[in-house]
Amino acid sequence: MGREFESSQARHLFYKMNYIAALYQFTEILEPHPIRQSIAEKLEELSITGTILIGHEGINGTISAKKETKLLQAIEFLKQTLDLENLDIKFSQSEVNPFIRLKIKLKKEIVTIGDPSINPNSQVGEYVKAKDWNALIADKDTLIIDTRNNYENSIGTFKNAINPKTTKFREFPQWLESQKFSEDDKNNKKIAMFCTGGIRCEKASSLMKSEGFEHVYHLQGGILKYLEETTEDESLWEGECFVFDDRVSVKHDLSEGSYDLCHGCRMPITDADKTSSHYVKGVSCPHCYSVKTERQKARYRSRQKQIDLAKQRHQRHLGPRAN
């Protein structure tokens, strides 16, 4: 059961209090409703917290446990229950549990592109391992496409990558349609797609295949796997990588990055942004000050006050939510 932690690096991650696994796999699940119940019962028995999305197209989620053995048991149960032979897993650790409770949700899509007919179980691009990525994107006939959102791209991306400037993943199909790619492009261009952990670019590759693109590739394991396996000297990555947890961003060595997060708009912000008169902790930043209403700002101030009070009492607040 401990085979996922065979590398010294993975074992090193697990010396602190909370053990975390981000996981996904596209796989056909015919009856997600009863499976949801059995998974909920088992993971609650193991005292697992986190969020798991289950749908007809597969599973996607992040779970946490206070004991390594409990987390591994949960993963093994998911593999056996859903017959997950190719489950993509990324392990990490945190001094603070990032989740308060366990949530298992049924979804039409485990990552939302807005069209349930786009199904990686039916057709998908070709996986490219981190060690082969540089050669692919260095090819002059390759179009490199960042399938992440604009705020993620703004703090780091691959050299020469196209930024669709989406605010959410479901806008990607509209961006693709707006590009008016020619039949020559579809037949001859290599399309190299990437995202943080691999799930969005895998689904986007299915969309590209459905639109008639012949040579579609996506980075297996995403940016995080690339940073883990590629030395900085050899890397074509520029900047930091946005992550969806309290770290906000990571540097090339996967250590915590230099960005903070505006809890009014969820944009990454720098120390320089915090010197702006438009920055108010938990309320606004230069990116959102002019677009947030006074009513929203008042609500955010109240929320931040509750967070500060909870910290003073050594309690945990449910945390901020952007609107």
Query: Domain segments of the chain: what residues?
Result: 2-106, 126-239, 261-312
Q: With bands split at pLDDT 50, 70 and 90, how would you rate the model's confidence at 16?
A: low
Average pLDDT over residues 234-260: 91
* CATH class (in words) of the domain with range 2-106: alpha beta
Give the span between the Cα atoms of 151 and 163, in whole angstroms.
10
CA angle 44, 46, 47 (to 5 degrees): 65
**pLDDT bucket at 318, cuts 50 / 70 / 90:** low
- Catalytic residue status for 195: yes
Q: What confidence score (pLDDT) does residue 307 get?
A: 85
DSSP state of 257: -
CATH code, 126-239? 3.40.250.10
For a pLDDT cut of 90, what percent of the chain falls above it?
Answer: 79
Other residues' Cβ atoms within 10 Å of the Cβ of residue 257: 20
Pairwise CA distance, residues 293 & 302, whole Å: 14
Mean pLDDT of all residues in 212-231: 95
Distance of CA 28 to the CA centre of its chain: 21
Yes or no: say if 74 and 43 are a contact pair by the CB < 8 Å rule.
Answer: yes
User: With 80 as the cut, is the pLDDT of residue 172 above it?
Assistant: yes
Whether 126-239 and 2-106 are alike in CATH topology: the answer is no
Which pLDDT does position 96 carry in this prediction? 73
Reported pTM: 0.84
Query: What is the rounded average pLDDT for all residues in the chain?
Result: 90
Q: Looking at 195, 241, 285, 288, which residue is catalytic?
A: 195
Q: Is the pLDDT of residue 210 over 60?
A: yes
Query: 305: buried, middle or exposed (CB in 10 Å: 19+, 13-18, 0-12)?
Result: exposed
CB 83 within 8 Å of CB 27: yes
